Amino acid sequence: MAAHGVLGKAVGLAALVLTLCGAARAQFEPVYRPPAAGGRNAASLASVSAQRMQSVLVRNAINRARTRSLAGATAGRRGARNGVNAPATTPRTTPVAPTPAADAATTFRPVSPPFLPGQLAAETAQTPAERKEQQAFFAQCLTNYESLRRGQGLPVKDVALAVSYLIGVSYNVYHGGDALTAAQGDALRAQVREGLASDPGFRRLSNREKQEMYELTAIVGEFLAVNADAASQKGNRQLAEMAREMAKDNLERLLGVPASQVRITDHGLEF
C-alpha cells in the first residue's frame, strides 16, 4: 500500500481541543491564507491533506464503534422495560478506560524521524524560502502536539489520540464553541480507539503508514487550532472563515455526514 494512499482516509476524534494549545501557539504566525493567484500556498494544505487522509478507514471504524454502542444502549433500555438488570449494556456516562490491547493496537514504532513536515512543505510551498518556512512551521506544530500530550501524561505515538485531536479541534472550530468537557473528550477518545483497534484495515497498516497517519492528523489539527486562535485574537474574519471551512471539510470527510449533524456528547460522537 502506498504511503500516500494510506492517508486518504483519516482525520478524526478528540478530547484535547483548542484550549490545550493555549500559550504554546501564541508564538506562531498563522500560515493558512488564501491561495495566491496562479499558484499554491499554505492554504493548499487542506487539499493536500485531504488526498492523504484515511477518511474511509476512519469513517468505517467509527461507525462500527457507534453501532456497537447504540446496540448496547438499545439492549439496556429493552432490559429495563422488561425488568431485567443489564449493567453490561446500559449506556455509560463515564466511558470505561480503553484496554491495554486497544492501546497497543493504535500505537506504533516510528521508523524514522518525522517526515511529513518536509513532504507537506514540498507540496504546499511556492518558493524555496517558503518551503523552508513551511517545513519549520509544520515541524513545530507536531512538536507542540507531542509536548501537550506528554504534559497531560498521555501517549505520544498513538494514532487514535491524534485522530481524536483533529476531530475535536475541527468540531470546536466549526461550531465556535467551548472546548470539550473531560467526559466528552474521554468518550470521544475511547470511541475512536475502539474503532481503530478493531478495524482490519487499520490493523494491516505498517508502522510507516501509521506514522504518516499520526503525523498528518496531529499537524493538521494543530495547524487548524493555531489559525483559529490567531483569527480570534486578531479579529480576522477572513482567516476565521477559512479555518471554519477547513474544519467543516475535516468533519465531513472523516465522518461522512454534514458537519451540522455532528455532536460530541458524554457518549462520544453522535449523528
Q: In tens digits, what is the pLDDT along the chain, a chain of 271 residues?
A: 443 333 333 333 222 222 223 333 333 344 433 333 223 443 566 666 666 666 778 888 888 787 776 665 555 444 444 444 433 333 333 334 444 455 788 999 999 999 999 999 998 888 999 899 989 999 999 999 999 989 988 889 999 999 999 999 999 999 997 889 999 999 999 999 999 999 999 999 999 999 999 999 999 999 999 889 989 988 999 989 989 999 999 999 999 999 999 999 999 999 8
Residue 159 corresponds to which cell in the numbers above?
494514532
According to DSSP, residue 90 is labeled S
CB 5 within 8 A of CB 53: no
pLDDT of the residue at 77: 45
| CA proximity to 269, closest of 154, 192, 161 | 192
What is the Cα–Cα distance from 233 to 71, expressed in whole angstroms? 44
CB 124 within 8 A of CB 32: no
Radius of gyration, alpha carbons of the chain: 18
How many domains are contained in the chain? Answer: 1
Q: Give a three-class secondary structure readout of 115-162.
A: CHHHHHHHHHCCCHHHHHHHHHHHHHHHHHHHHHHHHCCCCCCEHHHH
| CA proximity to 202, closest of 217, 224, 222, 223 | 217
Residue 259 corresponds to which cell in the numbers above?
458537519
Estimate to the nearest angstrom the gap between the alpha carbon of 206 and the chain centroid: 20
Domain span holding position 219? 3-270
| CA proximity to 68, closest of 99, 41, 89, 86 | 89
pTM of the entire structure? 0.74
CB 213 within 8 A of CB 205: yes
What is the Cα–Cα distance from 260 to 103, expressed in whole angstroms? 31
Those residues whose C-beta lies under 8 Å from the C-beta of residue 24, and which sit 6 or more positions away, are 144, 147, 148
pLDDT of the residue at 17: 27
Specify the length of the chain in residues: 271
Those residues whose C-beta lies under 8 Å from the C-beta of residue 219, and which sit 6 or more positions away, are 116, 117, 120, 138, 141, 142, 145
CB atoms within 10 A of CB 174: 23
In the chain, the largest separation of any two C-alpha atoms, in whole Å, equals 70
pLDDT of the residue at 154: 85
According to DSSP, residue 180 is labeled P
